[in-house]
Amino acid sequence: MSSDEIRLVSDKRTEFGKGAARKLRRADKVPAVLYGHGEAPVHLALPFHDTFQALKNPNALLTIAVDGEGDQLALAKDVQRDPIKPIIEHVDLVIVKRGEKVTVEVPVHVEGDAAPETVVTVDNATLEIEADVTNLPEALVVSVEGLEVGTQILAGQVEMPAGSTLASDAELLVINITQQISAEELEAELAEAEAEAGIEHDESDAEAAEGDAEATEGGEESSEQE
């Protein structure tokens, strides 16, 4: 459970725009905005390292120290990350209160080994749950130990941590156990799909070499007969 609160000391921002954001990031700060519960949005700059570590758990309960306004409890509602570099570009923080229940997305973690020659497919990697803001689970653990082909686990069958209730559709497919396909079957399916799509392959080097060898042998036989 993410019951441990993480405190981030912020600075108020007075400059905005892409240039100001780049300047902040060069100073190891993360642009952020804090809002909710009827409060006017507050534009902040958060310490990069502490924020990066804190947001490894997407549902971490954060205590945001706002200069001149005291502390605010918050959850990260939206985190914008650089697609290549390990950089947080912006964070939306929503204010929460103790004793409040919130709905959040929680990742599904699969553990155990299904029966031999099976494939475990995670159809939905996250589920929505409702829980007290000070007692949010970091993950929902689903065991597939020994499960046979044809087994399906629906959202309603996933065990919820104490104090949490499922908010997603109970009929949502989470885990699907199917038969492992052999290499020969996979190759045949691929060939069939390529044929239907009209894909033709050039003669491989090996096939070309084999063809040349056969032609040479044929030529030698003709010479001997002559």
Per-residue pLDDT band at 1 (split at 50, 70, 90): very low
Helix, strand, coil % in the chain, rounded to nearest 5? 25, 40, 40
Residue 201, CA distances (Å) to 93, 107, 157, 177 in order:
53, 42, 47, 34
CA angle, 11 then 104 then 13, to 5°:
15
pLDDT (tens digit per residue) in 55-99: 988 899 999 998 777 889 999 999 988 888 888 888 999 999 999
Q: What is the pLDDT of residue 205?
A: 54
CA-CA distance, 130 to 107, in Å (whole number)? 14
pTM summary value: 0.72
Q: Among 10-19, 62-71, 102-111, 183-192, which is the least confidently predicted range? A: 183-192
For the chain, domain boundaries: 6-96, 102-179
Q: What is the pLDDT of residue 214?
A: 59
Task: Note the CATH architecture for domain 6-96.
Answer: Beta Barrel (2.40)
Cβ atoms 154, 140 nearer than 8 A = no
Assigned CATH topology for domain 102-179: RNA Polymerase Alpha Subunit; Chain A, domain 2 (2.170.120)
β-pair partners for 118: 179
More confident residue, 193 or 120: 120
Sign, Cα dihedral of 59, 65, 69, 71: positive
Write b or e for each residue in 130-154: b if 16 or more Cβ atoms lie within 10 A of its Cβ, otherwise e.
Answer: ebebbebbbebebebeebeeebebb
Alpha-carbon dihedral angle through residues 50, 56, 61, 67, given to the nearest 10 degrees: 20
Q: Which of 58, 139, 122 is nearest to 94 (CA)?
A: 58
Helix, strand, or coil (residue 154): strand
Is residue 222's pLDDT more than 70? no
Cβ atoms 136, 162 nearer than 8 A = no
Q: Which residue has the tokens 């492992």?
A: 180
Burial class of residue 47, CB neighbours in 10 A (0-12, 13-18, 19+): middle
Quote the strand ranges of the chain, DSSP E. 6-9, 11-12, 29-36, 39-47, 62-66, 70-81, 88-95, 101-111, 118-122, 126-132, 140-143, 152-154, 165-166, 173-179
